[in-house]
Amino acid sequence: MISGILLIDKPEGVTSFEVVQRARRALGIRKVGHLGTLDPMATGLLPLCLLEATKLVPYLMPEPKVYRARVRLGVATDTQDATGEVVARCETLPAPAQIYQAAAAFMGEVTQIPPMYSALHFQGERAYRRARRGETVDLPPRTVTIYELTVDEVAIPEFTMTVKCSQGTYVRTLAKDLGDALGCGAHLSALRRLAVGALRVEEALTLAALAELGRGELEQRIIPISRCLPGMRPVEVGLAEARQLRQGQLLVRPADDFKDGEQVQVLSDAELVAVAQVRSLSPQAVLAPVRVFRRNEQEAGSSEQ
């Protein structure tokens, strides 16, 4: 089994953890993680990191996410989505032009107060657990970035929108805040994740395919780790230098080609060797390994765990 990313199209009603468990069984490996939880009611792209690819999570999690969301106007819930209890209703709903205008105001950096029914920690415990006990949960506001927000279709009392946003953005909070801005309240009635960075849901497998395909066929759908960091500058090295990096040794290169502090991906023979950081430019650039990756043949004996 090679290290890499397997794209799954998560269906509604299944938790992200359940998808991970099914992938472990189908692939016969234990080392599986994902790039951002999707709530059970949400569908869409759930990238799974396999074996050595789990080391890529810190580099891929900050990538922008793209969602298609359906918002129900005039009904507010305690969870800010369709799974919660209704806490307010409003019969007076906005005109389509008002929706487009309100959505435009949420572009760029915005401040969100995360929902109390969330997995964030509050005073040493998950916020949703305290909320379920009826306790007051005052989570601190956070700044997130809405890179793109397009209202795709309006059919009062609902509208759909496509959102490209930064890590940490709650789309259900965005729906709630839009409802507040329109003066009628709102909640998220459906959510589908379309992309995580350069990864697209169109290339994802269904859970049915995950269960039906053999391991050989599944392996063909895995994106190798050497192709998982398209936004990071590549540096090619020979086998001897690759061995040195995997042993934690430094790599020296001409200083003209690098910027102090930048991170690069080091490749050898089409395999990802390491993520390295430039630590010095005087008189030459010194590349220090930050994350090192085992060769695929080294993983063969450890896939069945």
Query: Catalytic residue positions?
Result: 39
Distance CA 60, CA 45 (A): 14
Residue 86: alpha-carbon gap to chain centroid: 29
Distance CA 80, CA 88 (A): 11
Q: Which of 105, 101, 81, 99 is nearest to 157 (CA)?
A: 99
Q: At what angle do helices 171-182 and 96-104 cross, to 10 degrees?
A: 120
Distance CA 56, CA 293 (A): 10
Cβ-contact 115, 173 below 8 angstroms: yes
Mapped onto helix, strand or coil, the DSSP state of residue 57 is helix
97's CB contacts (< 8 A; 6+ apart) are: none
Instruction: Give burial (CB, 10 Å; 0-12/13-18/19+) of 53.
Output: buried
Distance, first Cα to last Cα, the chain: 12
Q: Cα angle vertex 293, ends 291, 299, to 5°?
A: 150
Beta bridge partners of 65: 165, 196
